[in-house]
Every structure is written in C-alpha cells, then in structure tokens.
Structure 1
C-alpha cells in the first residue's frame, strides 16, 4: 500500500504539483512583488523544520510555491482548511499535513487525531523532507506575532526529533500591520496601487532551539525571534 502511494505521488502527484506551482506563481506574480532572502540555505538542508510567522491564509501556498524551484516544502495546515471542498484537491497532492481537529469531536478522538498528526510530522521530517510549520497557530490579529504559552506544535516536534535542522522564516509586507510598499505594475491600465511588495527572509539556526526549556519559555523565545526588527533589502 505504501509503495503504491509513493508511486502515485511520484507520477500523478508530481504532475499536479507542477501544475499548481505554475498557477500559484502566476497569481502571486501578478498581484505581489515577492523577494526571498537566503533561500539557498535550504538546498543542502537534510530535511528539517521551517518555523514561520503567520500573517494571512496566503502564507502556506505563497511560501511553498516561491520555494518550490529551490526545495519542496510541505506546509502543515489547519484541519478545516485541508478538508475544505475548495482546497482539498490542491492541498492533498501538494503533500500538506492536516493539523488539529474539530472542537465538536469527543476529547478521546481529538487526542487520537493529535497523536496521528504528530506522528505524520515526525515521519515526514525523518524521511528527509522539510515541513513548514506556523507555531502561532493562526494568522496574527495584531502588529506582533503572538505564540500562546500552551501552543506546543513546534516544541513537541523538535523534542521528538533531536538534532532536527531548524530555520526561521519571516514574512514582511503582507499583513495590514506592515508598511505597504507598491510598484506601478498595473499603472498601464489605470490602476495606480500596483503590486504589493512582500519580503520573505530565511535564517538557519545552527544551534537549534532549546527544548530543555519549559513550553511557555520556549514559545516566548521563539516569539522574540519572530518579532525582531524587520529588515528590508537595500534598494
């Protein structure tokens, strides 16, 4: 069964991923001017975890499609988004990993689902792939990234995979709280706002993150890294 899944993923799945890549890159290229700093750091990354700020629902598709020519990245997405009828046929072939579960489920069923999702994350990392995880859990609703003290996704994943390579990814320019910088891409048809500039920066953490800390202290350390002063490339 696993062999058949790998075969389908390497054939039909690969064709679909390339198709979605072309569609997404075209869309983002039309409406956003995106720059990515240090994506070359992922080329020799032997699997691992990218921890990213969460700005909007576009984050996962944008990052995955922009990095696809460099390295395939598998976003972890919320259960409701993964199984949404309008998104499932895109997210499933792309290898996205569904997290969380409906609050209406019984506690025992939710616990089983959480264990399944964590095993899926661990297996993906240990197979040499790169997982994109948003520790904040939801798109930010304030100027700064907030990771609630009880959110344990990044913490538990790193504790289960000691020595796992880690990278921090920050998205600037996409949120309504960021400075809006635009070009004149659409000015030829009378639209003067143009494309919005988005800056994605990647930094490898050579020493990783300290999982010997309590969960709340770990989240506070990660939150501080996310909220460091923004840096825009020189013009």
Structure 2
C-alpha cells in the first residue's frame, strides 16, 4: 500500500513541489548545472555534495528532478521536525544518525537499518544525496568532522554503485556573489544570483582507509576548485 501511494499521490505531490521550487529558483537564481547528463547515464548514484547554504537540498533536488530521482539524506532531528516532516517524507528523505540518548546497541542497529535502506534505494536506480560534512559551512572551506563516517560506510557497503562529487559555487556566504539584471525593470539593483552546480564522477575513493585518512581525502576533493 505504501508503495502504491508513493507512485500515485506521492508522485503528483512531488511534481507539484518541483514546479513550485523550480519556479522560485528560476525567478531569483540563475542556475547552471554541469555534468547532469552523466548522472542520467548512471542510475543509482551516491552524490557527495558540498554544503554551502540552507538552499542546497531543495536546489539540488529541483535542478536534478527531471534527470534522476534524488533521495536526500538528512539528520534525524531535521527529519522529525514537525515543521518540515511532510515535505521531507514526500521527497523520500532518508534520516541519518539517531538520538544520542539511545543506548549504543540501538544506535548501531539504527545505523545498519539506514545503510540497508540506502542500499535498496541505490539498487532501485534512485540516487542518494549526502552532505559529508553534515552541516552548512561555518567557514570558507568544507570541513568533515573526524567522527563522521557516512560516506565511507555507504561506499564500503555498496562498492559497485557509482559515486559523484557535487560542487556548488556562487551560493554560500563565503562564495563570490554575481548577479544579472533580471529585476532591473522594477528598479531592483540586484537581479538573480548566479549559481553553478558541477557533477563529477569519482572512482578512486578508498573506503578501506582508516576514517581520518578517508575523510581528509574526501575533504580535499570537495574543496578542490
């Protein structure tokens, strides 16, 4: 029954959200996407993205919607926030982590359950979006906390699934802001902000490395210009 609802009412609701969100970004942002065709050619991709602003999740989902269904991963607390649970549920967001108040056994079981869900999503040719740093940048560069193991765990558990890096430029507070004159006819000085999204395949991330080394390698790639 749940699958039937997702393919009917859920699908139409996602289309409506897509139209609304895409229209908003078309009006206020000039977004270009490079490498989107590569994503379309390799279904079931793990997308590892930089996290520069609160717009990242909906912007990426809207820009890639017509190419592939992208299931975002979000922190447990955000997913279960009453104010945003419904859109996250409709978009198929996958909650990561678990409350720290849980005992270690329960948290371990929850982590394995999440990995299994992600594996099923990838094998069903849907893509999964993950922000390895876990939060919006509070500094110019991407920093992955040493204890965050999501990216390495997923790649290790599903080594045959393709992986892509996604860089966002021109959107975050630490990035250069360039505007066109789209709104100049009503006297507004700033028009749409230019944003560049770049998707790049990566085949040599090694999950057999210790976590600190793996995170340092991934961090370097996410900060590469």
**Counterpart in 2 of 1:222?**
218
What are the Cα deviations for residues 40-84 of structure 1, in whole angstroms up to 9, with x where unaligned? Answer: 001111312011011122111110111001111111111222222
Deviating more after overlay: 194-203 vs 183-192: 183-192
CA root-mean-square deviation: 1.4
Does 1:211 find its partner at 2:196? no
Show structure 2 runs of 5+ residues with no match.
none
Deviating more after overlay: 26-35 vs 131-140: 26-35
**Counterpart in 1 of 2:145?**
148
Q: 1:34 aligns with which of 31, 56, 79?
A: 31
**Counterpart in 2 of 1:200?**
197
Length-normalised TM-score, structure 2: 0.95
Contact 1:165 1:208 in 2 (8 A): no
**Counterpart in 1 of 2:132?**
135
**Counterpart in 1 of 2:167?**
170
Structure 1 position 99, deviation (Å): 1.1
Q: How does 1:79-158 map to 2 (within 5 A)?
A: 79-158=76-155
**Counterpart in 2 of 1:59?**
56
What are the Cα deviations for residues 82-125 of structure 1, in whole angstroms up to 9, with x where unaligned? Answer: 22222111110111111122334444443333232222112211
**Counterpart in 1 of 2:47?**
50
Contact 1:166 1:208 in 2 (8 A): no
Show structure 1 runs of 5+ residues with no match.
230-235
Q: 1:186 to 1:104 in 2, by over 3 A?
A: farther
Contact 1:56 1:139 in 2 (8 A): yes
Length-normalised TM-score, structure 1: 0.91
Deviating more after overlay: 207-216 vs 21-30: 207-216
Partner secondary structure for residue 90 of structure 2:
coil
